[in-house]
Amino acid sequence: MKNRLFSVGTDPSAILAGKYGGVKVKPIHRGVLRQRYNSMRQRSKTPNHRERGVTVCPEWRKSFEAFYTWAITAGFKPELQIRRLNKFKNYSPENCIVGANVSHGDLLRTRYRRMRRRCEDAEFIGWKYYGEKGITVCKEWRDSFEAYYLWSRKTGFKPVLWIERIDNNKGFSPENRRWTRPLRKKTKVKRKYRENLKRRYNGMRLRCKTAKYRERGIKVCPEWSDSFEAYYNWAIDSGFKPKYKIERRFKDKDFSPRNCRVKINELYRSTLRGRYAHMRRRCENPDHVSWKYYGGKGITVCKRWRDSFEAYYNWAITSGFKPELWICRTDNTRGYSPQNCRLITPEESTRNLSSNVTNFIKGTRICRLCKQEKPLTEFRDCKPRSMGKEYICKDCMPFHLDNRNRKRLGLPLVSSLGVVKA
């Protein structure tokens, strides 16, 4: 009996005295309380506590044994928390209590209420899947939210986790519950990106086997090398799209979620840099050969593009830029801006010139002789040419042919209005 150790069932006052009928007594939770005590004293020295005048009471500050005595007497356990009743008062026996950890308390209480309503409230939307089928909540959880809360905290609850039953034919109880991650919703977009990400995943693994990467010790992290699903889920959660690229932040480190990021593909950067510079010179440099058609007519570049090439580059890539496309203004009387620019082919671009007399949107054309806008059907040649300087309508065509003969014979010319030209 001399070496017998006592623990939880022993009288706290006897434990604190260090003796129990002349028998050695084991200190209960002394290491845990020592950590809580040191943490409490460190918090009282932070600016947040000093500004409010919150400190540790002299009794506890002088002796750890006093704090230890109070905690054991109050029924302390490692899964419980020591917190203050009034946040503006000191740490003292009168202002502190031992209670359940309140971390995620509101979230767990919401889930607890929803669980009970599904099983007990016949008017709840989920009643037919739970209570109507005989699913109930165990007596321990039904009588006390604290029991449900302590079980959740002890089993590693996190807000991203869901509680599910192991056997769907049994009720809600600690023996029939476990934590799982919610199922990801498989959408068409994610399935469409799957093949693209699979090619990138295989390419990443092949690159790490080359001599260039092996010499630098660069490899794929174990999480990704063991499973494509981990790589796929990370890419989708990071906002991956086929026009984006996955790159490493630090080139001397491995491929891993911490060192990789999804970024807009910088393809065609040099091409767009040249077009950007040419656009600005046309609008800002009076010595440029095309100044009279752009800057001389008041055409400018918007402030957003003028201040940052990245804004221009991101707009072009997002709009689906390719080297064979041109960046053209929709309205030739306005400047360059995201709202007034579009990507079109060279053939479509020539139709947008100010010298063009054909409007393919309205289906009209301006006659060269009478200067009137008429439908395309009023012209002899209705083919969609890009430049329409020589178009003549059917009404003016006889006068045009007559004037050709008159010019050859040296006779005075006649206009479509019947006026004799000098």
> Among 166, 151, 160, which Cα is nearest to 182's?
160
Show the tokens assigned to 62.
């002088």
Q: At what angle do helices 145-154 and 105-120 cross, to 10 degrees?
A: 120
> What is the reported pLDDT for 103?
61
Residue 288 C-alpha from the chain's centroid: 43
Classify strands 364-366 and 373-375 as parallel, antiparallel or unpaired.
antiparallel
Bridge partners of residue 98, in order along the sequence: 82
Classified as helix, coil or strand, 241 is coil
What DSSP string runs through 322-370? -TT-EEEESSTTS-B-TTTEEEE-HHHHHTTSTT--EETTTTEEE-TTT
Specify whether the CB–CB gap between 299 and 305 falls below 8 A.
no
Q: What is the pLDDT along the chain (422 residues), one digit of tens a residue?
A: 333 333 434 445 554 554 434 444 457 888 889 988 998 998 888 888 888 888 999 999 999 999 999 999 888 888 788 888 777 888 999 888 887 655 666 778 888 888 898 899 888 878 888 988 899 999 999 888 888 888 887 887 877 788 788 888 889 999 988 877 765 544 444 466 888 899 999 999 999 999 989 898 999 998 898 889 889 988 888 888 887 888 888 888 899 988 898 876 667 888 888 999 999 999 999 999 989 989 999 999 999 999 989 899 889 988 888 888 888 888 888 999 999 999 888 777 666 666 667 766 677 877 877 778 888 778 765 454 444 446 778 888 887 778 778 877 777 777 655 544 54
Helix, strand, coil tally for the chain in percent (to 5): 45, 15, 45
Task: Give Cβ neighbours of residue 177 (< 8 Å, ≥ 6 apart).
Answer: 163, 164, 165, 166
Amino acid at 18: G
Q: Of 377, 422, 412, 415, which Cα lies nearest the Cα of 399?
A: 415
For helices 269-284 and 309-318, give the axis angle rounded to 10 degrees. Answer: 120
For residues 220 and 316, what is the distance between their CA atoms, to the nearest angstrom?
Answer: 33
Ordered DSSP codes for 243-292? TEEEEESSTTS-B-TTTEEEEE--TTHHHHHHHHHHHHHHHH-TTSTTGG
Please state, in angstroms and rounded to a whole number, the distance separating the CA atoms of residues 313 and 212. Answer: 31
The dihedrals phi and psi of 28, each to the nearest 5 degrees, come to -95, 125
Question: What whole-number distance in Å separates Cα of residue 377 and Cα of residue 394?
Answer: 9
Pairing, β 96-100 against β 177-180 = unpaired
CA distance 42 to 112: 35
- Rounded distance, CA 222 to CA 231, Å? 11
3-class state of residue 89 by DSSP: coil
DSSP 36-76: HHHHHHHHTTSHHHHHHT--B-HHHHH-HHHHHHHHHHTT-
Cβ atoms of 28 and 71 closer than 8 Å: no
Q: Residue 419 burial by CB count (10 A; 0-12/13-18/19+): exposed, middle or buried?
A: exposed
Angstrom distance (rounded) from CA 24 to CA 14: 11
- The torsion angles phi and psi of 296, rounded to 5 degrees, stand at -65, -25
pLDDT of residue 291: 92
How much is the pTM? 0.33
Q: What is the pLDDT of residue 408?
A: 79
- How much is the pLDDT for 185? 47
- One-letter amino acid identity for 282? R
What pLDDT score was predicted for residue 28?
80
Encoded tokens for 401: 């042919």
Q: Which structure tokens are listed for 289?
A: 């050969």
- The tokens describing 46, both together, are 């932070």
What is the structure's pLDDT at 20? 39
Look-up of token digits 């044994």 = 65
In the 8-state DSSP scheme, what is residue 20?
A: B
